[in-house]
Structure 1
Amino acid sequence: MQELLPVNYSTTLSIGFALALCASVVLKFWLASRQMRHVAAHRDAVPAAFAQHISLAAHQRAADYTIAQSRLSVLELAWGAAVLLGWTLLGGLHLLNRQLLQWMDPGLAQQVAVMVGFFVVGSALDLPFALYRTFVLEQRFGFNKTTPRLWLQDFAKSTVLGLVIGLPLVTLIVWMMGSLGASWWLWTWCVWVAFNLLLLWVYPSWIAPWFNQFKPLDNPSLQQRVDALMQRCGFRSQGFYVMDGSKRSAHANAYFTGFGNSKRVVFYDTLLAQLSEAEVDAVLAHELGHFKHRHVPKRMLSMFGLSLVGFALLGWLAQQVWFYTGLGVLPNMDGGNSALALVLFMLVLPLLSTFVAPLLAQFSRQHEFEADAYAVQQANGVDLANALLKLYQDNASTLTPDPVYVRFYYSHPPASERLGRMRSMAAGG
């Protein structure tokens, strides 16, 4: 730990952190208010491009659902900002650390306890919003299928996974931070990359089945279609599976998961119930487009590259006294501050990412356009457009989002842009 630097470093960080938090909150409030006003202003009429496919009742339901989600997100935003201030400048993390030091001797166990205490308290503070979203908001619009019993089972399973997987990882990281010298951040990054790759490999076969049932696709006609599509695209997977997503939600989806020889294609049962075989084929072609353009490895490399920068930055900040004091924490005199540094960095990082979110969203939307273009080449573009229209309607996705809000948050292009390009490509334009 370096010697204490002049107090203005700490004060500068405190002021900068407060200003960044205020700017982030104001920006997100402004974006949410734009979204709600824009959606409400277009609630009473279906856009002309969709008038033949989407009923006014469905359009209004999507508008109401979007506005309800936005209102809840505003409340979560205000609560999250208050919690962040509580952990940092108001001394919550400092209090947690000092209290644990009264009960435990300094060392690895105490630092791991700080991490566990932070996650437990944070989860408890977020719990009311998670319950409201599931059992009130989603229930009101007919999406929730989760029962209180199933929710408790999921909570218990997630807790066990956290103890079995997360606790050893946290312990290892905290130990490496305090034991491997100045280059700890590089070795820890290597462990982090290896852990994520391992998780991608084991998730489909070992973790996901603990929460859902995955049955092999038993529709011979559809199986033949998707087999032919996979062969045309030169893609191989471990198999096609149907997931019982309907036991938790009415939302529909399809995805690829896994890594290496564990790759598999998963269809929600709700998706198969809503789409024709040709439309399912087109949706699968879109997902294959992501693999054809190597979007998944590109995103992984980007994530690993950014995480390397993050670990290097944390390696430097962990040695700066003002990093702790400027965020409301007095570092331990014995030098065991790895857990404090890690928690503070985790608290600050999402705040900084607010201002790069539009760039990341833009890359994601571009990937979706590329996957759509590939799907139009490999399947029927009209079928893909019809499938997306059904999914927009069934998932109550608004057709009239605010354009500025889209640029900041949307990982997928809005319906008007996406279907407009798709129809143009299908028509040979």
Structure 2
Amino acid sequence: MVFYLSAQTIYILFLLFFICSICGQLYLSVRQSKAVLAHRSHVPSAFVQSVSLAEHQKAADYTLAKQRLARYEILFQSLLLLIFTLGGGLDLLAHLSQKWVQHDIAQGIVLIGLFALVNMILGWPIAWYRSFCLEAKFGFNKMTMATFIADQFKGSLIAIIVGLPLLYIILWLMRILIAANWFGGAWWLAVWLVWVSFSLLLMWAFPKWIAPLFNKFELLKDDALRTRIENLLQRTGFQSDGIFVMDGSRRSGHGNAYFTGLGKHKRIVFFDTLLKDMQISEVEAVLAHELGHFAHKHVFKQMIVTFILALIVFAVLGWLLPQTGFYTGLGVHEVSHAMALLLFMLVLPVFTFPFSPLSSVLSRKNEFEADRFAAKYANADDLIHALTKLYRTNASSLVSDIWYSRFYDSHPGARERIAALQTAVKAD
């Protein structure tokens, strides 16, 4: 027996979670701003010797500016959500798609494409302001307007090339499997398998064919650093497709390092901005931290968790899809498979916001484990120095509100993280 929800129930639940989500996000943002502002006048004791007051205050002002923008974004995105749902925006887009094309799958593709286009255009002003006003004010933006426009164009083109076939296959499967009632109504299982396959394909292809469309990747030329890294890789038993340097300075003054890809296409990537500020031993420590994620199988575990959560999401969609109340309760009257996909994905963040701390807790746990791995195979002091430099060059706040951190921070707070590494030094 299938449990159905009435339109009124859906409507009340949506408004309840919507209000809680907005108020929660705004409340946490204000808490973060107050915590940062309260400590702006003095450097935390753990960093007095390594971070100047001017650098600390720059990080505080940068964080406060980002939080102000974030609050505007929360309100703007919330307004858009109401316009698209209860305001009839999705119905309007559905009418346009039906007017332009006749085939049901084509209508669905046009519907989702129109939504993506409108959403992208409306998001441009904030994206522009973030890069050319906020980031520029604090000396981080290196992007030209030509690069900004080119990135938008290339991103849209890739979304079409990759997303169009995936969307067509999903809509085609939904039409065939639902009509034939195959898999006992569990059509969402087949759709989930397709989505997982596409996700793995993208992870495999990203470093080789997609990332180079946006940045230049060159093999590491520093012989001393490359030798040091190769020795570390040998000690840890890690194999990669190469050690690359990315021209991150074309867009930003922020520094970073990361791993990407699957199988033989795994790559180690350093931002050129990171290498400019780091000693060889510090780069080795940063890399050892990243290797710790692979040694503890964090990437694999996170991928499995993501796929399981996606399976649950598709199962819930399968339960809601035949329920008329799901659409009318959210202000939609043009019912279709594409509309079900679009509407569900649009409102999903509203209902999942209360669960945000769960993923953050797991991520911070993984970061601590990776730090301990780095302390074992490199040097904890070097990692402390490297992290402190990253906090300075990226203007990362050394202070964070405890509840804001629990909800949003994927990495431990600066003081907490450094204290754990100092404990590792003493243990040695």
TM-score by length of 2: 0.96
By how many angstroms is 1:6 displaced? 13
TM-aligned CA distance change 1:233 to 1:8, over 3 Å: closer
1:317 matches 2:345: no
Residue 171 of structure 1, aligned match among 157, 168, 171: 168
TM-aligned CA distance change 1:378 to 1:6, over 3 Å: closer
TM-aligned CA distance change 1:221 to 1:6, over 3 Å: closer
1:393 matches 2:396: no
Of the structure 1 ranges 69-78 and 158-167, higher mean CA displacement relative to structure 2 is found in 158-167
* Residue type of the alignment partner of 2:33: M
Residue 103 of structure 1, aligned match among 100, 107, 117: 100
1:180 matches 2:177: yes
Could you report, residue by residue, the CA deviation over 1:347-375 in whole angstroms, capped at 9, with x for unpaired residues? 11111221111111000000000000000
By how many angstroms is 1:184 displaced? 2.0
1:423 matches 2:422: yes
Instruction: Indicate the residue corresponding to 1:218 in structure 2.
Output: 221
* Residue type of the alignment partner of 2:351: L
Task: Name the CA distance, whole Å, in 2 between partners of 1:104 and 1:224.
Answer: 59
Residue 133 of structure 1, aligned match among 130, 151, 156: 130
Instruction: Indicate the residue corresponding to 1:348 in structure 2.
Output: 347
Does the residue aligned with 2:327 lie in a helix, a strand or coil?
helix
Instruction: Indicate the residue corresponding to 1:306 in structure 2.
Output: 309
1:119 matches 2:116: yes
Provide the alpha-carbon RMSD of the alignment: 1.4
Task: Name the CA distance, whole Å, in 1 between partners of 2:424 and 2:252.
Answer: 33
Task: Name the CA distance, whole Å, in 2 between partners of 1:236 and 1:103.
Answer: 51
By how many angstroms is 1:167 displaced? 1.3
* Residue type of the alignment partner of 2:251: R
Q: Does the CA-based 8 Å contact 1:321-1:331 persist in structure 2?
A: no
Of the structure 1 ranges 120-129 and 283-292, higher mean CA displacement relative to structure 2 is found in 120-129
Q: Does the CA-based 8 Å contact 1:14-1:89 persist in structure 2?
A: no
TM-aligned CA distance change 1:8 to 1:153, over 3 Å: closer
* Residue type of the alignment partner of 1:360: S
Q: Does the CA-based 8 Å contact 2:5-2:326 persist in structure 1?
A: no
* Residue type of the alignment partner of 2:349: P
Could you report, residue by residue, the CA deviation over 1:31-87 in whole angstroms, capped at 9, with x for unpaired residues? 011111111111010011110100000000000000000000000000011000111
Does the residue aligned with 1:355 lie in a helix, a strand or coil?
helix
Instruction: Indicate the residue corresponding to 1:295 in structure 2.
Output: 298
Q: Does the CA-based 8 Å contact 1:246-1:270 persist in structure 2?
A: yes
By how many angstroms is 1:283 displaced? 0.2
TM-aligned CA distance change 1:192 to 1:52, over 3 Å: same
TM-aligned CA distance change 1:384 to 1:6, over 3 Å: closer
Could you report, residue by residue, the CA deviation over 1:244-288 in whole angstroms, capped at 9, with x for unpaired residues? 000000000011111011011011100100100000000000000
Instruction: Indicate the residue corresponding to 2:8 in structure 1.
Output: 11
Alignment of 1:182-261 (within 5 A): 182-261=185-264
The runs of at least 4 aligned residues of structure 1 exceeding 6 Å deviation read: 5-8
Residue 64 of structure 1, aligned match among 61, 64, 73: 61
> What runs of 5+ residues in structure 1 fail to find an aligned partner?
none
By how many angstroms is 1:8 displaced? 8.0
By how many angstroms is 1:106 displaced? 5.0
Instruction: Indicate the residue corresponding to 2:44 in structure 1.
Output: 47
Task: Name the CA distance, whole Å, in 2 between partners of 1:185 and 1:111.
Answer: 17
Task: Name the CA distance, whole Å, in 2 between partners of 1:162 and 1:30.
Answer: 34
By how many angstroms is 1:102 displaced? 2.9
Could you report, residue by residue, the CA deviation over 1:175-220 in whole angstroms, capped at 9, with x for unpaired residues? 2111122332111111111101111111111111111111000111
Does the residue aligned with 1:180 lie in a helix, a strand or coil?
helix
Could you report, residue by residue, the CA deviation over 1:101-130 in whole angstroms, capped at 9, with x for unpaired residues? 233325111111101011011111211111
Instruction: Indicate the residue corresponding to 2:412 in structure 1.
Output: 413
Identity among equivalent pairs (%): 48
* Residue type of the alignment partner of 1:211: F
Instruction: Indicate the residue corresponding to 2:182 in structure 1.
Output: none
Task: Name the CA distance, whole Å, in 2 between partners of 1:420 and 1:137.
Answer: 31
Task: Name the CA distance, whole Å, in 1 between partners of 2:281 and 2:392.
Answer: 18
TM-aligned CA distance change 1:350 to 1:8, over 3 Å: closer
Task: Name the CA distance, whole Å, in 1 between partners of 2:84 and 2:347.
Answer: 11
Alignment of 1:318-337 (within 5 A): 318-332=321-335, 337=336
* Residue type of the alignment partner of 1:104: V
Q: Does the CA-based 8 Å contact 2:32-2:400 persist in structure 1?
A: yes
1:282 matches 2:313: no
Of the structure 1 ranges 272-281 and 83-92, higher mean CA displacement relative to structure 2 is found in 83-92
Q: Does the CA-based 8 Å contact 1:241-1:265 persist in structure 2?
A: yes
Q: Does the CA-based 8 Å contact 1:32-1:70 persist in structure 2?
A: yes
TM-aligned CA distance change 1:6 to 1:304, over 3 Å: closer
By how many angstroms is 1:89 displaced? 1.1
Would you say how many aligned residue pairs link Structure 1 and Structure 2?
421
Task: Name the CA distance, whole Å, in 2 between partners of 1:48 and 1:261.
Answer: 45
Q: Does the CA-based 8 Å contact 2:240-2:268 persist in structure 1?
A: yes
Instruction: Indicate the residue corresponding to 1:357 in structure 2.
Output: 356
Does the residue aligned with 1:13 lie in a helix, a strand or coil?
helix
> What runs of 5+ residues in structure 2 fail to find an aligned partner?
179-184
Task: Name the CA distance, whole Å, in 1 between partners of 2:334 and 2:3.
Answer: 16
